Amino acid sequence: MLVLSWNARGLGRLEKRRVVRSWVTNFKPVLLFIQESKLAVFDSVVIRSLGWTTLSRGMGVEAVGSAGGLISLWNEDLFCGKACTSNSRCIILVGELMELKKMVVVCNIYAANTESGRKELWDFLCREQSSFLFPWVFGGDFNTVFDPSERRGRGCIMSSVICFNSFILSSKVVDIPLLGMQFTWTNHWEKEVLSWFPKLVQRGIHGSLSDHNAIMIGEPKDNWGPSPFRFYNVWIEDKKLMDMAREGWMNCKDHFKNVKWQRPKIFDLPLKGLSIYEKEGLELEFTKEEVLEALNSCDGNKALGLDGMNLSFIQANYEMIEEDFMKFIGEFYYDSSIVRELNCTFVAFIPKCGRMGFMSDYIPISLVGLMYKVLANLLANKIKKVMASIIGEYQMAFVKELQILDSFIVAMEIIHEWKKNKEGGLLSEVGFREGVR
């Protein structure tokens, strides 16, 4: 729900009506409250000039001479009016919020400039609240303040502030956060109405043609793009959901085409130390057992794809998608490439220190997708089987159960042996940065 409220100080000028119409077009409020319209006539022409075609229904209180006047407009597709009442100081609408299927009372207020007139209005609203037992929303110009600090330049009458506070307490009105300006109020009604709009805020609109800035109340509609889908592991326990996923997967199979390409041949590629059988083993097509081993060796909570699915879903429903999964592996084997989109990943920046000021203070980590992860494991498992045949006798890296730091330990033992036997030797040190270039 989005409510726009403005003390226009007269709508006789065409420029002010254009401003209101532009707000209606840009912000698309459900309700529009205008105070001090100063219009002697309220009819369908006024509604069209302000609400255009969006806010097609309205109710107005005509001005007395050149003072006062209230207008309330609403979008009947989003707010269905059921009842209404009004006087010279307020318009009360009872209606249903169509999206939430909730009844609510909205009140457009223009309080009097005198203390006695305001007290009379507060008493009237308290009586009306007992007649409509729904959540209330107040908007408009109250012509008083909740706290003396809210008024600048001149003092305020404390008796008026006390009277207004008494009305707020008796009506259970709650302060809604306002962005940028002073605030209005909305009825809390035992905190129920705020549960409907958990992100409710007020926003001041600058640059109006009146000496009052307009205030818009509603939930932020910042467009950050579509929310990404995320698969939750608890869904696996829902049998009906898995049956629905299985049915959806089978229905989508017609969209996949099994196009096979001839794998490029390798001419005279030197593979040091590999036997003919090991060479042939590297080029064998991936078996179902190898794919399943690579899949189960992955952490199910990692490798979240761009579609939101993680490996837990694949692992739990592998029997359902095995045929299509093996078809993808086969296409990768014959084509020697993967679809470019599968290599698209999220990049997370991990801070290296407490206070970050430059990009160098972060460690970028690429979050690979699940299909890419399985393919990487498949290739790694293939290479593991022949690594022992091509790794040198004195090499420490890429050897199972050995670590790069083991070479440091061996070097220290050699130096210790030389010193012990009073022998000489030659050592060559290569820094890590130079070694990787």
Residue 217: enclosing H or E segment and its boundaries? strand 214-218
Other residues' Cβ atoms within 10 Å of the Cβ of residue 71: 27
Cα–Cα distance between 264 and 91 in angstroms, integer?
79
Q: Residue 355 burial by CB count (10 A; 0-12/13-18/19+): exposed, middle or buried?
A: exposed
Global pTM exceeds 0.85: no
Render 6-43 in DSSP notation, one character per residue.
EE-S---SHHHHHHHHHHHHHH--SEEEEE----S--S
- How far is C-alpha 385 from the geometric centre of its chain's CA atoms? 46
Compute, in degrees rounded to 10, the torsion defined by CA atoms 314, 319, 320, 324: 80
Cβ partners under 8 Å of residue 278, min gap 6: 271, 385, 386, 389
Q: Which domains, and CATH codes, for the chain? A: 2-218 (3.60.10.10), 233-390 (no CATH), 400-437 (no CATH)
* β-bridge mates for residue 215, sequence order: 5, 204
Q: Residue-wise pLDDT tens for the chain (437 aa)?
A: 788 888 888 888 888 888 888 888 888 889 999 988 888 888 888 888 887 778 888 899 888 877 889 999 999 899 998 888 888 889 999 999 888 888 999 999 998 888 888 889 988 998 888 888 888 888 888 888 777 666 655 556 778 888 888 888 888 777 665 654 444 434 434 445 556 666 666 676 765 566 667 777 776 666 656 666 777 787 888 888 888 888 777 776 655 544 444 434 445 544 456 777 877 888 888 888 888 888 888 877 765 666 677 778 878 888 888 888 888 888 888 877 777 777 777 777 888 877 777 778 888 877 777 778 888 888 888 888 887 777 766 666 666 666 767 777 888 888 888 888 888 888 776 654 444 33
